[in-house]
Structure 1
Amino acid sequence: MLQPIVARVIGALTGFASSFAIVIAGLRASGASEQQAASGLLILCLAQAILAMVFSWRYRMPLSFSWSTPGAAMLIASEGVTGDFSAAVGAFIVCGVLLALTGLWPALGRAMTAIPTPLASAMLAGILFPMCLAPITAAVDLPMFALPVVLVWLVLYRLAPRWAVPAAMVVTVIVVGIAAGDQWADGASLLPQFSLVLPTLDPAVIVSLGVPLYIVTMAGQNVPGFAVLTTFGYPAPPVAPILIGSGLISAAGAFVGGHVNNLAALSAAIMAGPDAHPDRDKRWVATFSGGAAYILLGLGAGAATAVVAAAPPVLITAAAGLALFGAFIAALVSAFGETQHRLAAAVTFLVVVSGVVIVGIGSAFWGLIAGGVVMAWLMGRRPSIA
């Protein structure tokens, strides 16, 4: 039983190192203070630990949970939509409620999956595009800081791909530490603590952040997560309980700054495969022990937030961009794989990348609308106006 425990502890460490900076940067871009961002990271760690331990034990399946990394990237891309974190928290709560409703009301799940894959993928690619440009920008603006990070990532991507992103994050932390000296933790609270945020329900922010966050989380995390389990020969996973549980805990966690938790996709492939344990029936132990590891990692949320706050923003965005290259490539391939829908996907992608804000609603929403209208027109159907 030692193999799955070791595998998941390593997986938790690499997963945390690969994307914690993205989460913190996303929360800060939504208007969170340093303390609120640390609180959000803490609750996200604890929530995914609880979900993984409870569901893995209950169903004896390797059910891995994580925060929504594409969702955090979307928050970074949507910076400026709101500077009021209470409004962002209101959008996070709506996203969690929508996830829970998807489990309770199958019709909502069918409506979400009815969004054409090329459009959903193009939206995700458009959200990730500015972040994937950041390593280039940082290498030009801050070559002494950014080039070591990029070079370590590139070398390990060739020699040990699984360790490329965590190693790049470690180098980023080292570079930040060297640049900030012993002042990096000044004024920061390194002890774990929650910061209560009373939500504001702003319709424009809900449409700009809450709804796209729900779509990205379902399309980019939950749907692939369910597919991974099926690929490795597991029986149909308990879809409704997972969506209801993750949705409710996300809505509750939003009150202390978390954006959303969901079924893991990338780490699920590791935990559900033979690397976790040769015996498929014992792989659930890996996700259970990984949940325990995330409780300990959550205790370091304050220190992690202080490191990110001490870094030049472009350097953190660059490190996050390296972590998202794989997701960006996969989204592009999915968006432009079907010849007949490439124009609609391109329109969606370009509108999202443009960053336009119309009547207070951000470009992720308008990209889907524009792409949907183009797709409907080219397929010979008159676009309906709601």
Structure 2
Amino acid sequence: MPKSPAPSASAPAGLARIDSRPLVAGIVTALVGFTSSFAVVLAGLKAVGADPGQAASGLLALTMAVGLGVLGLAWRSRVPVTLAWSTPGAALLAASGMPDGGWPAAVGAFIAAGLLLALTGLVPALGRVMARIPSSLAQAMLAGVLLQLCLAPFKALGTVPMYVAPVILCWLLMMKFAPRWAVPAALLVALAVIGISLASAGPSADVDPLLPALEWTTPAFSLQALAGIAIPLFVVTMASQNVPGVAVLRSFGYETPWRPAMLVTGAGTVAAAPFGGHAINLAALSAALAAGEEAGADRSRRWVAGFTSGLAYLVLAGFSAALVSVVNQAPEGMLEAVAGLALLGTLASAISAALAEPQDRIAPAVTFLMAASGLAFAGIGSAFWALLAGLAVRAALFRPATPERSGGEPGTR
């Protein structure tokens, strides 16, 4: 192998050895994670009853919880572990609607979901129960709750085409040439469109606060909110974020500090909930940015990328209120359109995973349709009933493939 060039005589030897790639990778991880899904968070929080100030507080609380959690986990484990807020969970909230008891009941459900996350780290049996829920049903439930939100960009073409069309076009072009930056670029175009709209409308007397502030909400607990929000939020966060997050890190040769990660994300969720945060978890897609080659050739130093992403999230927290203030001035349907574009890839992956096994497609299909229907019964949203219906149909219909049907060895599926 060719030798590395010798350090410049004019530069200190220590500085010459500094690799900036982990720092850059960490900053990119935070930027992509924040900008590609914060619109989903705002849409979800508003759907369950948050007013603009409470939604802004929730985004701030989540950003701070993610940042502080990553700092602690990466520093102690020396693994490039990264955290994020639960984007699928926010999409679930957007499809759930306001629970009985309003916003305080939703906050109570967030706390319950956080306790379940923490218990997963403390009680191995709970993790085994989660493992018994077929992944195909969890993914079908997620796809069902994502469907309406992913339809929003195309519905908005019929109501505000001049605002939405440039955003969709930018997203499509970036998906071809730089997929990772497709949603952040679409967000920038959306902000530009909003700015032009505000400028043409003249000065407005209603301006939201530009400085970040936390708003406390005293939680309320109801059976309907626990069943309709907390349990589905926990299931979809585990199945769509935490489990894939572990797999991504393992694919790069790192073992996730599972128990500390569950305790940190659970405690972070509980702490953020009274201020409007719904859930934080292991990062999945963005985890590859901090754990892969982009974070430097020295694998033992890639944890710095995770640590840096935590610092970057704390910086982004300072801009969250101003960003929410601009978004709140958007034409009706614009926020949902950007959120829908951000979730199209997740929807496609969820549908693919739900229908991956030819002999087990009816139960996921029922789960998907039930979740997409928006059915609410006894004050409990469709996600809970979709999971129950899928489990019941699967128990009635599913039979593991036999060697005669599958051509495989006994016991294979």
Q: Helix, strand or coil: the match of 1:275?
A: helix
Paired amino acid for 2:208: A
1:109-150 per-residue CA deviation (whole Å, 9 max, x = no partner) reads 111121001101100100111111111101121110000000
User: Structure 1 residues 165 and 380, CA, compared in 2 at 3 Å: closer, same or farther?
Assistant: closer
Q: 2:220 pairs with 188, 200, 205, which one? A: 200
From 281, 298, 301, the equivalent of 1:279 is 298
Question: Which runs of no fewer than 5 residues in structure 2 stay unpaired?
Answer: 1-18, 401-413
Q: Which whole-Å CA distance do the structure 1 matches of 2:332 and 2:226 have between them?
A: 26
The reply on whether 1:336 has 2:355 as its aligned counterpart is yes
Are residue 270 (structure 1) and residue 289 (structure 2) matched?
Answer: yes
Q: Are 2:150 and 2:340, in contact at CA under 8 Å, matched by a contact in 1?
A: yes
The structure-2 alpha-carbon separation of the partners of 1:87 and 1:151, relative to structure 1 and needing over 3 Å to count, comes to same
1:370 aligns with 2:389: yes
Runs of 4+ in structure 1 deviating by more than 3 angstroms, as ranges, are 80-83, 182-185
CA distance, structure 1, for counterparts of residue 171 and residue 376 of structure 2: 34
- 3-state SS of paired residue (1:119): helix
Secondary structure of 1:341's counterpart equals coil
**Residues 97 and 148 of structure 1: is their aligned pair in 2 closer, same or farther, counting only changes over 3 Å?**
same
Contact 2:114–2:268 (CA under 8 A) maintained in structure 1: yes
Which of 66, 69, 72 matches 1:48?
Answer: 66
Alpha-carbon distance in 1 for matches of 2:171, 2:283: 23
Is the contact made by 1:185 and 1:307 (CA closer than 8 Å) also made in structure 2? no
CA RMSD, aligned part only?
A: 1.4
TM-score, scaled relative to structure 1:
0.96
1:71 and 2:89 aligned: yes
Inter-partner Cα distance in structure 1 for 2:100 and 2:48: 6
Answering whether residue 343 of structure 2 is matched by residue 305 of structure 1, we say no
Superimposed CA distance per residue, residues 235-273 of structure 1 (whole angstroms, 9 cap, x where no aligned partner)? x32211110111011111101111111110011011111
1:202-241 equivalences in 2 (<5 Å): 202-234=222-254, 236-241=255-260
Determine whether 1:323 maps to 2:342. Answer: yes
1:20 to 2:65 alignment: no
- Secondary structure (helix, strand or coil) at the match of 1:190 reads coil
State how far apart, in whole Å, the 2-side matches of 1:300 and 1:184 are: 21
SS at match of 2:286: helix
1:119 and 2:145 aligned: no
* Deviations 1:328-358 (CA, angstroms, capped at 9, x unpaired): 1110110001011100010000000000001
Count of aligned residue pairs for this structure pair: 380
Structure-2 separation of matches of 1:73 and 1:142: 22
CA deviation vs aligned residue, 1:286-320 (integer Å, no higher than 9, x gap): 11111111111111121122122111342111111
The alpha-carbon deviation at position 185 of structure 1 amounts to: 8.2
CA distance in 1, matches of 2:145, 2:47: 14
Give the distance between the partners of 2:203 and 2:361, measured in 1 at CA: 50
Unaligned runs of 5+ in 1: 382-386
Quote the offset at 1:184 in angstroms. Answer: 6.5
Structure 1 residues 200 and 275: alpha-carbon distance in aligned structure 2, compared to 1, 3 A threshold: same
Please give the TM-score of this superposition, normalised by the length of structure 2: 0.90
Partner of 1:137: 155
* Change in 2 beyond 3 A, CA 1:269/1:183: farther
Identity %: 50
3-state secondary structure, aligned to 1:9: helix
> Structure 2 counterpart of 1:37, which letter?
A
Tell me: CA distance 1:171–1:184, structure 2 relative to 1, closer, same or farther (3 Å): farther
Match of 2:261 among 242, 260, 270: 242
Contact 2:367/2:386 (<8 A) preserved: yes
Decide whether the 8 Å contact of 2:29 with 2:287 is kept in 1.
no
Conservation of the 8 A alpha-carbon contact between 2:101 and 2:220: no
Give the whole-Å Cα distance in 1 for the aligned partners of 2:100 and 2:183: 30
* Paired AA for residue 248 in structure 1: A
Structure 2 contact 22–304 (Cα < 8 Å) conserved: yes
- Secondary structure (helix, strand or coil) at the match of 2:267 reads helix
Shift of 1:229: 1.0
Paired AA for residue 393 in structure 2: V
More off after superposition, 311-320 vs 333-342: 311-320
Distance 1:355 1:65 in 2: 30
Distance 2:169 2:398 in 1: 46
Deviation, 1:379, is 2.9
Does residue 91 of the first structure (1) align with residue 84 of the second (2)? no
CA contact (8 A) 2:227 2:384 kept: yes
- Asked if the contact 2:248–2:287 (Cα under 8 Å) also holds between the matched residues in 1, the reply is yes
CA distance in 2, matches of 1:207, 1:112: 16
Counterpart residue number, 1:384: none
Aligned residue in 2 for 1:190? 210
Report the AA paired with residue 60 of structure 2: L
Letter in 2 for 1:230: R
- The answer on 1:355 being equivalent to 2:374 is yes
Please list the CA deviations of residues 189-236 of structure 1 after superposition, one character each: whole Å capped at 9, or x if unmatched.
1111110100000110111111100011100100000111111111x3
Q: For 2:214, what is the secondary structure of its paired residue?
A: coil
Distance across 1 between alignment mates of 2:262 and 2:204: 39
